[in-house]
Amino acid sequence: MDELRRKLEPLLRRVFHFYFRFARGATLGAVGMVIDGSNRVFLVKHSYVSGWHMPGGGVETGETLLTALTRELSEEGNIVITGKPVLHGMFHNRRISRRDHVALYIVRDFRQDAPPTPNREIVAHGFFPIDALPPDTTRAVRARIAEVFAGVPVSELW
């Protein structure tokens, strides 16, 4: 299953972004680095792309960044934001397309009344210590964690 997903991933990305080229002038995503009281980071594993990612997704027409972030955290992590998230940065995600940008928020005030139930989109999830991330955590996630926790300079690129 992972091998098939890895082979189909570039094609699926191209198809989605071909569609978005005509549906939107640019694509924008809202992502949350959800950090618990033990400095663990919440990550999700999708059914359609490889690796562990921070929860988030596309900003729909008519949504604000915070509305999209709130929706995505609820859908992907059963996470409810209880305080004001802090914008960490805006990133150009040229690995996806020349037109894709990601807003990353740091979320420390939240509640998760129950873990999310795996579904067709999210097949696994969990809070992970920053020094014990799953081996296939994406490069972008590791870079953002280094920026937040180790003081590495913030990049413009996802």
Question: What is the structure's pLDDT at 109?
Answer: 98
- Whether residue 156 is contained in a domain is answered as no
Question: What is the structure's pLDDT at 8?
Answer: 75
CATH number at residue 108: 3.90.79.10
pLDDT in tens, 18-50: 766 666 578 899 999 999 999 999 999 999 999
Q: Which comes out higher in pLDDT, residue 22 or 12?
A: 12
**Separation CA 127–CA 42 (nearest Å):** 4
Q: Enter the pTM of the model.
A: 0.84
Total of domains in the chain? 1
- Whether residue 157 is contained in a domain is answered as no
- Whether residue 114 is contained in a domain is answered as yes
**Separation CA 14–CA 75 (nearest Å):** 24
Residue 83 is part of which domain span?
2-150
